Amino acid sequence: MEIVLAIVALTLAFLTVAVIVTVRGVRAARRGIERGVRQARRAVTDATLRARATQPGPLGEAARARKELRESLESTRTVLAAVSRNDPALGEAQSLLERLHEHAQQVDGELAMLMDVEPDRSRLAARLPGLRERADRIKASADSLRHAAQDRVLHHDAEQLDALQRQIEIESGALRHWTTPEQDGGQALPPQPPRRELFRKAPRNETP
């Protein structure tokens, strides 16, 4: 009886583990599919905006505003994600970027609605200056975050290099402890005069 109960318990445990693994696999596959769909949609939208950005008039200007805004946000997100792995202090900058991204989505959605849905191009031309001004402000803020993160990395690297050079100079001097100042690149000390004898021996008197 105990053997049967043990077999049943092992079977239930195996089935539970199998169900958990299957559910996690399905969720991971679903997330991968959703991520792939989003990337495909974004690629199609970016290609469409690049094509429309070459057109003259309000439609082309709106497409250029959306294109520049998307590129600025994406570049800033990439830089902050790469830098924050070694610098936790940039966590606040990432939070600010996410808040900025919400405003960018709002402006992008309004521009997309006017471009794709609104048949009256005069309305697009009338709304475009205000939307363009908001897009430029968002882009300037994103560029500021990106440039500050890049400057922080360069400054930190320069400080580390200066400290490393000082350590190397100290170690190099310690390794050359047997060399004279002239061999080490310095000036040689002047020769010291001969020391005088404190006690001189009296000359012997030779008798004939």
Name which of 87, 94, 76 is nearest 146 in CA terms. 76
Mean pLDDT of 44-68: 80
pTM here is: 0.59
Backbone angles phi, psi at 60, to 5 degrees: -65, -40
- Flag the least confident range among 25-39, 42-56, 186-200: 186-200
Amino acid identity, position 204: R
Domain ranges of the chain: 53-161
Per-residue confidence (pLDDT) for residue 55, from 0 to 100: 77
Q: Which residue has the tokens 């959605």?
A: 109
Per-residue confidence (pLDDT) for residue 107, from 0 to 100: 93
Range ranked top by mean pLDDT from 6-10, 98-102, 189-193 = 98-102
Contact assessment for residue 124 and residue 114, using Cβ atoms and an 8 Å cutoff: yes
**What's the CA dihedral at 116, 117, 121, 124 to 10 degrees?**
-80
Q: Which residue has the higher pLDDT, 173 or 148?
A: 148
The alpha helices in 53-120, defined as continuous H runs, are 57-84, 91-116
Name which of 74, 77, 65 is nearest 43 in CA terms. 74
Q: Which residue has the higher pLDDT, 35 or 14?
A: 14
